[in-house]
A and B are shown apart, each in its own frame.
Chain A
Amino acid sequence: MTQDTSNTVNSWTIEKDDNNIAWLHFNAANVSANLLSQAAIRELDDILITFEKQPPQALVILSDKKDSFIFGADIKEFTALETRQQALDFLHNGHALMNRLAALPCPTVSMVHGACLGGGTELSLACDYIVASDDRKTKIGLPEIKLGIFPGYGGTARSIERCGPLAAMNAMLTGSALPARIAKKILLIDEMVPLRQLKSAAENYALTAPKRKKLPLLARLVNVAILRPLVASQMRRQVASKAKAEHYPAPYALIELWVKHGGNRKQMLEHEALTVAKLATSETAKNLVRVFFLQENLKSQGKQIDFNVEHVHVIGGGIMGGDIASWCAIQGYSVSVQDQDPARLAQTIKRAQYSFKKKFKRDRRAIRDANDRLLADHRGAGLHRADIVIEAIFEDVTVKRALYESIEPKMKPGAILATNTSSIKLEDLSSSLKNPGRLVGLHFFNPVALMPLVEIIRGNETDEKVVQQALAFGKNIGKLPLAVKSSPGFLVNRILMPYILEAVTMAGEGIPPEVIDKAATDYGMPMGPIELADTVGLDICKNVANILSGALNIPLPDNLKQLSDSKLGKKTGEGFYRYKNKKPIKNKSAGYPNADEVQHRLVLRLLNEAAACLREGIVDNQDLIDAGVIFGTGFAPFRGGPMEYIKSEGADKLCQTLDTLKSRFGERFTKDAGWAMIE
């Protein structure tokens, strides 16, 4: 193996105190966050070898980074692993380190403050004790499952030993980052203390080395060989409700590993490495890692420029406007939300309480502070102070233009005006402004709190600086910003619409909606297109489809032309499905002989439109199409995005299917010239 230069940089420093406690500081050079890279592992391993010969009184591992511990392994190194053997070597380096740490004769303590994830947690698990701060920034977890693998540095065996199989498997299968309070509850950590006492607590464990609490009997019982298959089948059922085995093999493999080897640490560690090596080199993991980097890529789009926003003013207290406002308040911004109607603002504030409680749980002060930052402002007092004004009123060109004319004179010089329009061309709006360059699109998706993507729409006249500011704002409010050319439907709705309309057309042909939706979820979509249309509202679908069908030459299906007011989807209790307690009533026995064709019709319309977007340069490059579609629609992440899917399946093969569909169903399946541009 070649030695890279980072190996020569010291990430770890040892500080010995009067009690001969070795305080092992982790401070990866030149980066803001600690990653347990192979270089960091080697360096730490060398240190531990000297400790093996000459052990200190105790060892405490801590981070010198502000408000973070260790974010996990360096995922970049992952992408270089091509063969299973390479992956296995990679994992064995980690195993060797963790085993050495666990076997040290002196007490070892992990002192956690801030994010402690993946490899960071595994390193902590190899210590005798883990103490953590109760700070809100402290999050401890094993999120590997999100990348299509599971903990591979001994974390499976050690977390189960520490927390018992139920809690540990749950943590690994969900991959959630636990606040210290929950981590303490499941015995993942030994003690939670205020940050000011964290060092004292670590020192106390180091010097007194108390006996660890034994796991409760029940937790130990579940690990008995004859009970494991029983418990595992329950786990599989829970996982199956979230992820299909053929799409996401990792959780099933993890359960399998535990069932087979749960009672024996040595075997479990051995097979952990074997299985993770296999998973890590699979297509699924590679695609999920790719999605991770696409996410980083979007975040970095907002880093080109500093945009210091002191106040946000949102105009329009409807669901979108209100949710954008409360989201910004949650993110720490001072926000005013303007609407002429105090009654609507009252509902906005009420809705905000749900968001605040969801985010801050029972933290009364955090909720109060968010409320204090969010002002229901029916007179528009906040307009003139805002650095960014977000317009989220109903979709009407005339009304929007009139609004812009009236607010522009009151806006702060240099403040940007962002519209949340999803269907009106920016150029039609910006001409009402004295300074059209300040108008940019900021297209949020509903529900705002859950959808990570924000499309930043670059109009023909939008100043480049304003686009950069909007991207920065998108990143600063914790969203993934994507710069998109101003064109009908932008990126996400445009790609989604032919797919939904094809589904609606098929429903019109008499294919049961259950079959159509299943074809989509089998492909890996989070929700079927028919259910999605019902959820969005058929009237809204029709509206967007109308706008797009003109511009993009997509015919509107007949069954969307005539809508009954009582059958507009979920909100009226009936659409394509009937709804009971806000859940669709699905006919489980619905069948259709040619389900494959249904899936092809859906997917190829989507892929064909994605190719068209590439050709038109709607976003800057091919990767960004994948990013937009995944984070904007939930498009099967394990497939890596539409472009990545086309590459892995082969464009030629897919185009053949497209031609077949064209001959059967007509012009809408005509191959777009953009297919030739896919690299």
Chain B
Amino acid sequence: MNNECRRKVYIVDGSRTPQLKSRGKVGPFSAGDLAVGAARPLLLRHNFPLEDLDEVILGCMMPGEREANVGRVVALRLGIPQSVTAWTVQRNCASGMQSVDSAYKNIRNGDADLILAGGTESMSHAPVMFNHTMVNWLGDMMKSRSIGQKVSNILKLRAKHFKPVISLLLGLTDDTVGLNMGETAEIIAQKFNITRRQMDEFAVNSHHRLAASARAGLLDEIEVLYDEKGNYYDFDDGVRTDSSVESLARLRPAFDRKYGKVTAGNSAQITDGAAWLLLASEDAVNKYNLPVVASIADTQWAGLDPSVMGMGPVHAMTPIMQRNQLAIDDIDYWEINEAFAAQVLACIQAWQQDEYCQKYLGLDNAMGKIPYEKLNIDGGGVSLGHPVGASGARIILHLCKVLQRTNTKQGMASLCIGGGQGGAVLIQNESTTEAEAA
């Protein structure tokens, strides 16, 4: 397709919840609650009538049990008129990026002008379910009529009936290859010789970067959440300001218990959160006098071996770099979601290796080194957590904020996707040109 006839797609605003670490118990907010909490102030601060939204797209892997098509549930709860359609997308860890990509393409192709797109996940609300043995037993119980039948049924109950099915654990396991996400990170760490210390150092930096940015008030995309008990939540509470390489070194490997290197400390946290972007065509920007923050220049999805799903970002970013004839230096800032420290570090290495670039990415030579000081400068999944459905939208939103703040030109947001995929989005800063024009 010819780039010339495609319409430009602007990001005009965005917001997110603080990311709330799951602490073993059900958190205060469902996926829908989180999405509503982040979107209300976002919609309120603009002037367009809500019925002028073309659609609402929300990424989510596991909506609450009362939230089938959580996108629609949220849209209605936000008071968006019933005539505005809403849908939910699921591309596992990239659900929030998929929703932005879908919105981007619908606006680019001229099918829509104004879309609210984002992602949400309440991992602490992931259901714990009955197993099949129990479900069948319950079915028999429902059918039994006489007291005798009931008693004989009750006597059939065994301990195995009560073994729960923990959906979160299964959700984080790739059943096609039989590997937990952490195990895929171990594979990559082996392949690229990433040491435990490198991972832990990366993790510590993630915490320190987030802590410093939060202290400096650089995370103004966060909207405060309030629960019903008089608590409020205004920061990403997974951050460990006191994190050190020494303290992280004491943690036991979480997946390959005896010989592994991937620990809870150098992996993304289990977290609840939601993030939104408001996307608009040029027509909509003019019509509603919307502030322009950034534009989406390109997007890309890639597929690869599920057992090394963590390499997804390089596979998705490479075609964007080629298509747009970009070198590493052309990208001012990078947001690569930190599912695992090992996986981000491996991606950096892979782009530096001629062999990997030639064999897997179809490049003639190595791409080069992503400068660490330009990558995830305000922390990432290790410190912020990775609410799977939300992270894709969050990193795009934050990248916009970084470009705006540093007054730089373009940035790349990318993440790896369980099941062996990668996604990437190229963002261009539009707020600087606005300022210059003014």
Contact = CB atoms under 8 A, between A and B. Distances in A.
A46 interface: no
Given A369-B77, A375-B41, A385 B224 contact: no
B226 interface: yes
B229 interface: yes
A342 B77 contact: no
Given A381-B44, A382-B44, A343 B232 contact: yes
Nearest to B232: A346
A334 interface: yes
A346 B78 contact: no
Contacts of A346: 226, 230-232
Contacts of B44: 311, 336, 375, 377, 381-382, 385
B45 interface: yes
Contacts of A345: 224, 226, 232
B234 interface: yes
B224 A342 contact: yes
A372 B36 contact: yes
B232 A342 contact: yes
Interface in A319-353: 334, 336, 342-343, 345-347, 349-350, 353
B228 interface: yes
B47 A334 contact: no
B20 to A, nearest CB: 15
B41 A379 contact: yes
A157 B310 CA distance: 79
- Chain B, interface size category, equals 10 to 19
A349 B78 CA distance: 18
Given A336-B44, A377-B41, A349 B226 contact: yes
A373 interface: yes
A34 to B, nearest CB: 31
Interface string B38-79: 001100110100000000000000000000000000000111
Contact of A381 (B45, B79, B227, B230): B45
Contacts of A342: 224, 226, 232, 234
Contacts of B78: 372
B231 A385 contact: no
Interface in A355-387: 368-369, 371-373, 375-379, 381-382, 384-385
B77 A368 contact: yes
A376 B224 contact: yes
A372 B75 CA distance: 11
Contacts of B77: 368-369, 372
A336 B41 CA distance: 9
Contacts of A368: 77
A345 B41 CA distance: 15
A242 to B, nearest CB: 33
B47 A371 contact: no
Contacts of A378: 224
Interface string B206-232: 000000000000000000101111111
A345 to B, nearest CB: 6
B41 A381 contact: yes
A495 B265 CA distance: 67
A385 B40 CA distance: 12
Nearest to A341: B232
A536 to B, nearest CB: 24
Nearest to B36: A372
Contacts of A375: 40-41, 44
19 contacts: A336-B44, A345-B226, A346-B230, A346-B231, A347-B230, A349-B228, A350-B229, A353-B228, A369-B77, A372-B36, A373-B79, A377-B44, A379-B41, A381-B44, A381-B45, A382-B41, A382-B44, A384-B47, A385-B47
**Nearest 5 interchain pairs by C-beta:** A350-B230, A346-B232, A381-B45, A349-B226, A381-B41
